[in-house]
Amino acid sequence: MSRYNATEDPLCYPGSQVLINKADLRNQDDLDQFEQLMFLSRSEEPLPEGNLDYGHYKKIHHHFFQDVYDWAGHPREIRTGKGGNWFCYPEYIDPEMQKLFAQLAAEDHLRNFPDPDEFANRAAHFIAEINAVHPFREGNGRCQLTLLDLLLSVSGFEMHEDQIDPDIFMQAMIASFHGDNTPLARAIRLMMD
Ligand SMILES: Nc1ncnc2c1ncn2[C@@H]1O[C@H](COP(=O)(O)OP(=O)(O)OP(=O)(O)O)[C@@H](O)[C@H]1O
């Protein structure tokens, strides 16, 4: 939930960077707490069914954030970035996500990579690319980890999120944005042990 750089944003309360939300919370800390609480409570429920395609990914986002934002499950419409790294222009989000999920399907959702090291390398590629597109205004990290968990489980691996330090993971994500997927692959591999 680190803050976004965003161009002027109609999704925020006027004059603030707080996203308009269903609880009408105008304070960022209150919203962060509410959002995480709702996310955790929806995480207790089964995930929406789907074919691990882009539609499924949007349904997962909707599932987690439906209690907080009207736009849950919908791609963002403004340009956003984090730490000076600007994500995909909104007009290219849908085609880029369709392309990535088509590639993922062509690789049988990584079932083609029974070797854990190879799986981790390939998963890092997809997670890095999805992060660079960053389809949602908020909630991307949590959806990325959920997708990773689903990909691991269809290939018969387990995800041990506690094996990874959040700061190391964040640094790995940032490195991946700059084209180096090695730390991310290493982090994913660690989660598989
Ligand atoms: N400077 C950066 N460059 C590239 N990616 C970044 C940067 N900072 C954070 N990220 C990635 O963006 C994602 C977080 O996006 P977002 O804030 O939309 O998700 P979230 O689920 O709301 O937050 P979090 O993942 O922190 O719980 C994470 O995968 C994170 O690693």
From the CA of 113, how far away is ligand 1's center (Å)? 26
Give me the tens of pLDDT residue by residue for the chain, a chain 193 residues long.
556 665 568 999 999 999 999 999 999 999 999 999 999 999 999 999 999 999 999 999 999 999 999 999 999 999 999 999 999 999 999 999 999 999 999 999 999 899 999 999 999 999 999 999 999 999 999 999 999 999 999 999 999 989 889 999 999 999 999 999 999 999 999 999 8
Q: What is the ipTM of this complex?
A: 0.97
- Return the ∠ at Cα 147 (arms to 18 and 123), rounded to 5°: 120
Residue with tokens 């962060």: 32
Q: What global pTM score does this model have?
A: 0.95
From the CA of 181, how far away is ligand 1's center (Å)? 16
From the CA of 162, how far away is ligand 1's center (Å)? 18
Instruction: State if residue 135 touches ligand 1 by the CB under 6 angstroms criterion.
Output: no
From the CA of 158, how far away is ligand 1's center (Å)? 23
Ligand 1: which residue has its CA nearest to atom 6?
174
Domains in the chain: ranges and CATH: 49-77+88-191 (1.10.3290.10)
Calpha distance 102→111 (Å, rounded): 15
Helix (H, G, I), strand (E, B) or coil at 176: helix
